[in-house]
Amino acid sequence: MNFPESVTFKLIDKDGKVPVKNIAVLLILYAHKKNNYSIEAKISDNNGELIFTKQDCLKGIESSRKFYLMDYTSNLEECLPRVSIELISKETIEFVLKDRKENKDIYLGFWDCSEEYLNALNSTDNDKYIAKAYDFSEFDLWQNKILEIDLERKSKLVSGKLVSELPN
């Protein structure tokens, strides 16, 4: 994988066609051998945008390889020429929050355990959208444009009828 210096993704509400702020997503790198890498979650800004950098990828790979010695072997160049942006479920966020708070001393230096980051993760609006992965090729990443992702709102029952929630 030849990851660009940075890639900007923009989260868009599929129905409302408006930017979606305050959504946490992971960047998934597909390893050539052993396990794939999940690069630290980022949260979309007021324009629905978030940026993953090559440095984010290198740091995430290094942290994973150092922390989980036997589980990871591929470096960035050995990763397959595709990535996914994964909208994290609220349940996964809750697990990460609990785990990082309980094991802060162990994770220090590998992953962000700061109160600021954990509070930001805790207050995301991920529970409003369907948790799923969106795939991109290496070619897509090098198009030198903002890559848009149409997020699907969760549906809910209103007066016994299934309806999609409207954008804020």
pLDDT tens, 19-60?
999 999 999 999 988 899 999 999 999 999 999 999 999 999
pTM of the complete model beyond 0.85: yes
User: Sign of torsion, CA 41 46 49 53?
Assistant: negative
pLDDT at 168: 47
The letter for the amino acid at 131 is: A
Confidence of residue 6 (pLDDT cuts 50, 70, 90): very high
Cα–Cα distance list, 153 to 11, 76, 129, 160 (Å) = 12, 33, 4, 18
Question: How is residue 154 written in tokens?
Answer: 């969760």
d(CA 41, CA 86): 9
8 A C-beta contact, residue 56 and residue 37: no
d(CA 28, CA 116): 23
Judged against a pLDDT cut of 50, whether residue 150 lies above it is answered with yes
Judged against a pLDDT cut of 90, whether residue 158 lies above it is answered with no
Rounded to the nearest angstrom, the gap between the alpha carbon of residue 133 and the centroid of all alpha carbons in its chain is 9
Query: What's the chain's length in residues?
Result: 168
